Structure 1
């Protein structure tokens, strides 16, 4: 499957080259030849763009004969809020949003994503409420992050 993923990645990257604000996040292929391609954008990605990418990639995959029997399905979507952040560009576009970080050591940090650079992120965590609230700023290296999820706060 890894060879197929690499071929699909090459093709979708060529398609995405038309719009540098959009980027590939991940490709998953199930044993049933269900291909799931996750695309994000620095300013989000619209449904119209996702439909266009799906049609273009489907045509390329059919013409290239990656699945000789033609027995594949293709889904092109943006990662949902339930999907963890995987790329620095995703962190960048989510500055000022609340995140939950699970570190490699199993510890958890919940707070507002303030900054992102090439090697680390800065998160502001508030513990307690009212006058007893304490703000702690965490600098977390990307290599220490196991997963990061966007948190919805109302």
Structure 2
């Protein structure tokens, strides 16, 4: 039997979130002054847009209203998604972060920033960016070697298709000059 309020809430709410096609990632109950705040984080392989989050929020609110899971006091329900710099703690998180840049804290110390190229049951295939004009290298990282991992926000990331578009534009410019 569940002992903590968060565990009881997870047992109550997870089936409802799953029925909406989402994963229940996190539940947090915090005190803010005299009120309590229940934060629920949801996600899916295809993401959770605002409409899906609103739908699950209404469903969770109705379920909580019909039970005494939060007790008699007032509380605020906040439902959201993990955010851009999410921590990667489950296998599905790594799969969802495919092709993203991630900062890894390694178990034996040290840090690694690399792009996830592939994920399987044992670990990750990574592309480590080159330094000082050198080419990127690939590396295999086993899950047991990872202490923490967090997605990094990239503001200036070059799109994979940019190279192809630039090559096409250059070829078109050459053809126009020849004509």
With the shorter chain as reference, the TM-score category is 0.7 to 0.9
Flag structure 1 segments of 5+ consecutive residues without an equivalent. Answer: none
Change (3 A) 1:2 1:149: farther
Query: Cα distance, 1:124 vs. partner?
Result: 1.1
Q: Does 1:147 align with 2:148?
A: yes
Secondary structure at the residue paired with 2:82? coil
Change (3 A) 1:23 1:71: same
Q: Which has the higher strand share?
A: 1
- Large movers: runs of 4+ above 4 Å: none
Residues 103 and 147, structure 1, Cα contact 8 Å, conserved in 2: yes
The two structures, once aligned, show a CA RMSD in angstroms of: 2.0
Comparing 107-116 with 78-87, greater Cα deviation is found at: 78-87
The TM-score normalised by the length of structure 2 is 0.75
Partner of 2:68: 65
More contact order relative to length (CA 8 Å, sep ≥ 6): 1
Query: Cα distance, 1:80 vs. partner?
Result: 0.8
Flag structure 2 segments of 5+ consecutive residues without an equivalent. Answer: 157-179
- Larger Cα-atom Rg: 2
Instruction: State the Cα deviation string for residues 129-151 of structure 1 (Å, max 9, x = none).
Output: 33xx1433222222322221222
Partner of 1:26: 26
Query: Cα distance, 1:102 vs. partner?
Result: 1.1
The TM-score normalised by the length of structure 1 is 0.86
